[in-house]
Amino acid sequence: MTFQEKHVLVVGMGRSGQSIAKLALSEGAKVTCTDLREDAPQMEGCTHVYGLHDRLDFLEVDQIIVSPGVPATQRDLVAAMAAGVPVCGELGLAAARLQAAGVPIVAVTGTNGKSSVTDLTGQLLRQAGKRVFVGGNLGNPLTDAITQADSLDVAVVEVSSYQLELPGGLCPTAAVILNLAPDHLGRHGSMENYAAIKQRIFSRMGPEGLAVIPAKDSSGLLCHGKTAAVQAWLGRGPGVRIEGDLISLQGTPDDGTVDLSGLSLLGAHNRDNAAAAVLLAVCAGAPRSAMNLSQLTALPHRLQPVHDQGGVRWVNDSKATNVDAALVGIAGIGAPMVVLLGGKGKPGADYNRLRPLLQEQARAVICFGASGPEIAQALQGLPVRHASGLGEAVQTAAEIVQPDEVVLLSPACASFDEFSDFEDRGRVFSALARETSP
């Protein structure tokens, strides 16, 4: 499918909306962009309907492309679908185009760790000489890969639950759900619905594909769903498991082991992330013999050491935007620490779950931001201090931290009370850490 001579409505003008609008324009479409934000980005050559949605715009077009920030239950989208207007998510449409061009897709979803596994898989494929696009929910929209299709061997795609509401033609060669923990329940309503949406990643896969879920699922809700793909597991065979310092593959195109001993990434969870990445990379055509895990690097804002001074290490784990991610970050340090928790909490967050690990490993906890008081209340009895925002939290940490300790930002909350996103928060933390002397 191309957009030539079609009237296309793009709903939501974030990065993915801008990318699909540019593509549609380049292929000769008439493009209308709509966004509830009055100050959404202007796209040259497009018609703009900003600050509101006009129902007629949804009913009088040939195709609607939806950005992940817009729920599939949005009433104008529902009306358009009822009227027979084709509605597709940006990632789903891009995936169909790439697959039709012969570019296989490796897809990664889950509550936590999906960005890291996506990036690590891309690194391993590049080690093997593959020409790789890495993106989706991570970084560049998948639509950006369409114009590169002739020069790609594979696309490695992070897929969010928002994107899986309208998965379109997504049909991965290999796909994994890493885990499932309470998150985005304000949009999805329940853990059961959240799990069902995640499992859509397997729904179009054929018998040549590999569908992977964790052997140990703390939610008890994950399954392979209705898929024709070969089933595999994280933590047992067929699939991948860790045995000491070896990653062991079974039921893959290149069964055997990969040395894990040289991995330098912080935290036991990164050993699991590396194992998942090895499995996916092998399924995408990378031989085990080409893999050197000692060369793998971490993404920014994920247990990223950003400053060392006076025996104190400052670690940026700003991507820990929910309680489960913060638990992983705190457990990954392995040293006495001062932990910074706070931001804009998510619906249903249970901060009391942090208590046992903080009691064991944290000498002090600093709660900041919009949800700081709620977190402090949940952690009553622990050595908790209060700060109005991240700047005050960093200053307090610098005053109380001791040599041979770590200051860890692993906030367990979204960033939207002070910052545009977790990356913005992480950059500010890193700059403040370098400016602040303990």
pLDDT tens, position by position, 336-360: 999 999 999 988 899 999 999 999 9
**SS3 breakdown of the chain: % helix, strand, coil, rounded to 5?**
35, 25, 40
pLDDT higher than 60, residue 168: yes
Domain co-membership, 74 together with 154: no
Domain co-membership, 162 together with 38: no
Q: Residue 152 CB: number of other CB atoms within 10 A?
A: 18
The arithmetic mean of pLDDT across residues 82-103, rounded, is 97
Q: Is 7 a catalytic residue?
A: no
Domain co-membership, 213 together with 256: yes
| Element (DSSP H or E) covering residue 133 | strand 132-136
Domain co-membership, 264 together with 334: no
Q: Tell me whether residue 1 is in a domain.
A: no
**What pLDDT band is residue 65 in, cutting at 50, 70 and 90?**
very high
Q: Tell me whether residue 2 is in a domain.
A: no
Q: What is the pLDDT of residue 437?
A: 63
pLDDT single digits (tens) 317-332: 999 999 999 999 999 9
Closest CA to 407 of 356, 336, 353, 352: 336
pLDDT higher than 60, residue 393: yes
Q: Residue 217 CB: number of other CB atoms within 10 A?
A: 17
- Where a domain ends, among 63, 85, 107? 85
pLDDT higher than 60, residue 154: yes
Domain co-membership, 104 together with 193: yes
Domain co-membership, 265 together with 349: no
pLDDT single digits (tens) 251-307: 999 999 999 999 999 889 999 999 999 999 999 999 999 999 999 998 899 999 999
Here the tokens at position 166 are 């309208």
pLDDT-above-70 percentage for the chain:
99
- Where a domain ends, among 62, 85, 108? 85
- Say if residues 63 and 9 touch (Cβ distance below 8 Å): yes
- What is the rounded average pLDDT for all residues in the chain? 96
pLDDT higher than 70, residue 191: yes
Rounded CA-CA distance 411/378 in Å is 14
Domain co-membership, 133 together with 251: yes
Angle at the Cα of 69 (from 110 to 391), degrees rounded to 5?
Answer: 80
Here the tokens at position 117 are 């596994």
Domain co-membership, 350 together with 378: yes
pLDDT higher than 90, residue 225: no
Say which residue the tokens 């913005």 belong to.
Answer: 424
Q: Tell me whether residue 405 is in a domain.
A: yes
Closest CA to 388 of 409, 366, 408: 366
The arithmetic mean of pLDDT across residues 4-25, rounded, is 96
State pTM to two decimals: 0.88
Q: Tell me whether residue 431 is in a domain.
A: yes
CATH of the domain at 399: 3.90.190.20
Q: Residue 95 CB: number of other CB atoms within 10 A?
A: 31
Q: Tell me whether residue 207 is in a domain.
A: yes
Query: What does DSSP assign to residue 224?
Result: -
Q: What is the pLDDT of residue 317?
A: 96
pLDDT higher than 60, residue 120: yes
- Say if residues 285 and 105 touch (Cβ distance below 8 Å): no
Say which residue the tokens 């009895």 belong to.
Answer: 381
Domain co-membership, 49 together with 12: yes
Angle at the Cα of 93 (from 92 to 95), degrees rounded to 5?
Answer: 65
Q: What is the pLDDT of residue 166?
A: 96
The catalytic position among 7, 48, 184, 386 is 184
Q: Tell me whether residue 333 is in a domain.
A: yes
CATH of the domain at 176: 3.40.1190.10
Written as one string, the DSSP assignment of 41-84 is: PP-TTSEEEESS--HHHHHSSSEEEE-TTS-TT-HHHHHHHHTT
Q: What is the pLDDT of residue 207?
A: 96
Domain co-membership, 214 together with 119: yes
Q: How many domains are there within the chain?
A: 3
Longest CA pairwise span in the chain (Å): 66
Closest CA to 254 of 235, 277, 278: 278
CATH of the domain at 28: 3.40.50.720
The arithmetic mean of pLDDT across residues 419-436, rounded, is 96
Q: Is 114 a catalytic residue?
A: yes
Here the tokens at position 149 are 């299709």
Amino acid present at 81: M
Domain co-membership, 134 together with 154: yes
Amino acid present at 428: V
Domain co-membership, 283 together with 308: no
Range of the domain at 19: 7-85
The catalytic position among 22, 53, 114, 130 is 114
Rounded CA-CA distance 371/103 in Å is 44
Rounded CA-CA distance 47/32 in Å is 5
Q: What is the pLDDT of residue 1?
A: 67
Q: Is 137 a catalytic residue?
A: yes
The catalytic position among 22, 130, 137, 316 is 137
- Where a domain ends, among 18, 52, 85? 85
